Amino acid sequence: MSPAEIVGSCRGPLWTFGLLRSELVTTFRRWRTLALLGVLAGVPVLVGIAVKIETSDGSSVGGGGGGGEGPAFIAQITNNGLFLVFTALAATLPFFLPMAVGVVAGDAIAGEANAGTLRYLLVAPAGRTRLLLTKYATAMAFCLAATLVVAVSALTVGALLFPLGDLTTISGTRIGFAEGLARALLIALVVAASLIGVAALGLFVSTLTNSGIAAMATTVGLLITVQILDQIPQLHAIHPYLFSHYWLSFADLMREPVYWDDLIRNLGLQALYATVFGSAAWARFTAKDITA
C-alpha cells in the first residue's frame, strides 16, 4: 500500500472499512496473488484433461470408491463432472492451497516492513490491533477466494468435459444435482475454513521478521514439516493436534447421513490454532519496535 492510500483509507467515520477495502484491493491486485490464483485455477484443468484422455479409450480411472477419501473421487469424474470439484479440492488442499495462503499471510506484516510502509500504517489512526485484524481478515478472504477459484474452475471444466446430473454419495445413496451442487459449495466453505489455522500461523511468523520472503519461506517450511509429521506412524499420538490432520474430513459431507465428528474436530482445531497464533501475533506485534 502506498502512503497516500494508507492515510486516505483511514479518514472519516468508516475508516476501518476503508482500511480493509484498501487492503483487499491491494492484495488482490498484486501480480503474485493473481499468479497464485491462476495456478490454483489450472489444477482442475489439468486433472480434468488427464482424466478425459485416460478414459477416452474406454479404460477406467482409479479403482472404485476406495473408502471415501478425497482422491478416490477421481474414479467418479467420468460419470459426473461434479466430482471434479471434490477431486480438485482434495488435490490442492494438502499443499497448493495452504502454500498460497502461507505466502499471502506470511507477507502481511513483514512485507509492509520490508517496503517501508508499515510506519505509515501506524502513523494513521489505525492502531496496531485493528491493523493486525485487518491483515488477518484479508488473509481469510484470500482463503475463501482461493478455494472458490478451485471449485469454480473444477465445476466449469467438469461441465465441459463430462456429463452432469444426479450423483451417488459415498454411502451409495442417490441425491439430485441441486443437492450435490449445494454440498459442493458447503465443502468449499469447509475447505476455506480449514485454512484459517495456516493463515494465523503465517501472520504470526510475519510479525517476527522484516523480510517478506523469509516469512513466506518459513511459513511454507512449517507447512511441509507438519505434513511430514502427520505421515509418520510412530508419531500417531500428536497427529490429532496437527492442523492438517482432519483436512480431508470434508469427504464426510458426501456421506448419507453426513458424518460430523471429524468435521467438527477439524473446525475446532482450526479455531484453536487461529486463537493461539492470532494471540501470539498480537502480543508480538503490539510490543514490536517499528523502525521501517
What is the chain's alpha carbon radius of gyration, rounded to the nearest angstrom? Answer: 21
Residues with Cβ within 8 Å of residue 98, at least 6 apart in sequence: 195, 198, 223, 244
Length of the chain: 292
Residue 277, class by beta-carbon neighbours within 10 Å (0-12 exposed, 13-18 middle, 19+ buried)?
buried
Q: Which three cell numbers stand for residue 273?
A: 490454532
d(CA 78, CA 80): 6
| Three-class DSSP category at 265 | helix
d(CA 246, CA 243): 7
Q: Which three cell numbers stand for residue 57?
A: 479409450
Domain ranges, ordered by start, for the chain:
3-286
Per-residue tens of pLDDT for the chain, all 292 residues: 554 454 444 454 445 677 888 889 999 999 999 999 999 999 999 999 998 888 766 555 554 443 334 445 777 888 889 999 999 999 999 999 999 999 999 998 888 887 777 777 666 555 788 889 999 999 999 999 999 999 999 999 999 999 998 888 888 889 899 999 999 999 999 999 999 999 999 999 999 988 889 999 999 999 999 999 999 999 999 999 999 999 999 999 988 888 899 999 999 999 999 999 999 999 998 887 665 5
Residues with Cβ within 8 Å of residue 188, at least 6 apart in sequence: 85, 89, 147, 148, 150, 151
Residue type, 172: G
